[in-house]
């Protein structure tokens, strides 16, 4: 019986292997030190100044543009670190609102089932969102008066998960990009550019969530939190890293295998 190399060639195993630029362990540790450690300092600087800045900015935007009143609250996150968030008045959905949202979810599900073309990621993402909203309508219709979260509580949960997701993304991205630290400057630019993107997206999303939920009611809390929260962040981070890796591979393609380690 022929071996794998005899059937596909000696380079088959190598061509299907993961590869990254050759560099020493010291360079990888150095890259993590000059990326993740400064980011960690910025994130926790001033006992929660990042969350305080986002909350004050969002509160000012809501007050100036829409006249929505809010106040900045704080809570203990970890020892010696406080988390700031906005206290905003919310509302529960009416019975009519719940019925309309539930019927709309069922109609959309039927349209996707009968007229949906293919199984694209966008279709799957939309179906998951609709299912979560449908579950929310069922809960609020029967047990809406027992819903445990106010908009203020939701704001604190959002800020908590946002800080944790930024911390996780910063750490994971530094570990992965360290494998490409031979291209030091592009890797550093990709690292801080991705985190800047996450920061801007997270801040704008925080503002949009509070405005939308203030007017539309708590019915959509679960859909926004689970569908467009951490999952969305990691989706875009993977996309950015894939583009970086692809561009770097194309740049070094003509230089041969001597720069790669398998």
Q: Count the Cβ atoms, other than its own, within 10 Å of residue 81.
A: 14
The string of DSSP codes covering 194-231 is HHHHHHHHHHHHHHHHHHHHHHH-GGGHHHHHHHSSHH
The values of phi and psi at residue 161, to 5°, are -65, -30
pLDDT at 250: 67
Tokens read off for 116: 């949906």
Nearest to 67 by CA among 245, 238, 230, 214: 214
Nearest to 70 by CA among 144, 156, 148: 156
The values of phi and psi at residue 224, to 5°, are -65, -40
Tens of pLDDT, residue by residue, the chain (262 residues): 555 455 444 444 444 445 555 566 787 888 888 899 999 888 887 667 889 999 999 999 999 989 999 999 998 887 778 889 999 998 899 999 999 999 999 999 998 888 776 667 778 888 889 999 999 999 999 998 888 889 999 999 999 999 989 999 999 999 888 887 677 888 889 999 999 999 999 999 999 999 999 999 999 999 998 888 877 888 888 888 888 888 777 666 655 544 445 4
Kindly report the pTM of this predicted structure.
0.81
- Sign of the dihedral through C-alpha 93, 98, 104, 108: positive
């Amino acid at each position: 019986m022929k071996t794998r190399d005899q059937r596909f060639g000696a380079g088959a195993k190598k061509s299907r292997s993961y590869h990254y630029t050759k560099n020493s362990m010291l360079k990888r540790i150095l890259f993590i030190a000059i990326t993740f450690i400064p980011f960690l300092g910025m994130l926790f600087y001033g006992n929660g100044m990042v969350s305080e800045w986002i909350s004050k900015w969002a509160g000012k935007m809501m007050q100036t543009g829409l006249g929505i009143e809010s106040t900045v609250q704080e809570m203990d996150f970890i020892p010696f670190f406080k988390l700031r968030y906005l206290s905003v008045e919310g509302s529960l959905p009416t019975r009519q609102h719940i019925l309309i949202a539930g019927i709309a979810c069922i109609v959309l599900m039927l349209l996707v089932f009968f007229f949906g073309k293919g199984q694209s990621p966008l279709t799957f993402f939309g179906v998951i969102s609709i299912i979560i909203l449908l579950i929310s309508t069922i809960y609020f219709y029967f047990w809406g008066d027992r819903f445990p979260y106010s908009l203020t509580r939701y704001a604190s949960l959002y800020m908590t998960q946002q800080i944790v997701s930024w911390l996780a993304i910063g750490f994971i991205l530094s570990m992965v990009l360290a494998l490409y630290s031979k291209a030091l400057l592009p890797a550093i630019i990709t690292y801080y550019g991705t985190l800047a993107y996450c920061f801007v997206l997270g801040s704008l999303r925080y503002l949009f969530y509070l405005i939308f939920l203030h007017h539309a009611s708590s019915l959509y809390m679960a859909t926004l939190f689970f569908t467009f929260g951490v999952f969305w962040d990691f989706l875009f981070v993977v996309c950015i890293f894939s583009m970086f890796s692809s561009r770097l591979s194309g740049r070094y393609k003509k230089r041969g295998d001597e720069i790669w380690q398998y």
